[in-house]
Amino acid sequence: MASNICFKALTVVLTAVSFMGKAYTQTPVPSLRPVTATYSIETGSSHLADTYLSPIKYSGWSAAFSYERWQAMKFSPEKWVMRLSVRAELDRAVNPAKNSAIWNAGMRGSWSMMRRYRLPVERLTAGIGPMTDLHFGCMYLPRNGNNPAQAHAAFTVGIAAFLTYGLHIGRLPVTIGYQPSLPLVGAFFVPEYGELYYEISLGNHPNSVHAAWPASYRAIYNLITSDLHLGSTTLRLGYRFDLISSQANHITSRHITHMAVIGIGGEWLSVAQRRPLTDTSRIISAYY
Instruction: Count CB atoms within 10 A of the CB of residue 68.
Output: 21
For the chain, what is the mean pLDDT? Answer: 85
The predicted structure's pLDDT at residue 27: 43
CA pair distance 129, 116, nearest whole angstrom: 9
How do residues 164-176 score in pLDDT, each as one tens digit? 999 999 999 999 9
Instruction: State yes or no: pLDDT of 242 exceeds 50.
Output: yes
Q: How far apart are the C-alpha atoms of 194 and 174, rounded to whole Å?
A: 52
CB 210 within 8 A of CB 185: no
Structural contact between residues 270 and 70, judged by C-beta atoms closer than 8 angstroms: no
- 3-class DSSP state for residue 220? strand
**Confidence check: pLDDT of 190 > 80:** yes
How far apart are the C-alpha atoms of 106 and 66, rounded to whole Å? 12
pLDDT band at 139 (very low <50, low <70, confident <90, very high): very high
Q: Where are the domains of the chain?
A: 31-287
Contacts of 35 (CB under 8 A, 6+ apart): 69, 70, 71, 72, 267, 268, 269, 270
**The CATH homologous superfamily of the domain defined by 31-287:** OPCA outer membrane adhesin/invasin (2.40.128.100)
Whole-model pTM above 0.85?
no
Mean pLDDT of 264-283: 54
Residue 207 predicted with pLDDT over 90: no
Out of 15-19, 252-256, 280-284, which region has the weakest mean confidence (pLDDT)?
280-284
pLDDT at 164: 96
Q: What is the pLDDT of residue 121?
A: 86
Chain centroid to CA 189: 23
Bridge partners of residue 146, in order along the sequence: none
187 CB neighbour count, 10 Å cutoff: 14
pLDDT confidence of residue 283: 31
pLDDT of residue 143: 84
Helices (H), the chain: 2-26, 197-201, 281-284
CA distance 151 to 192: 12
Chain centroid to CA 134: how far? 11
**CB-CB contact of 161 with 146 (8 Å):** no
pLDDT in the model for residue 246:
96
Of residues 134 and 285, more confidence is placed in 134
Mean pLDDT of the 209-232 span: 95
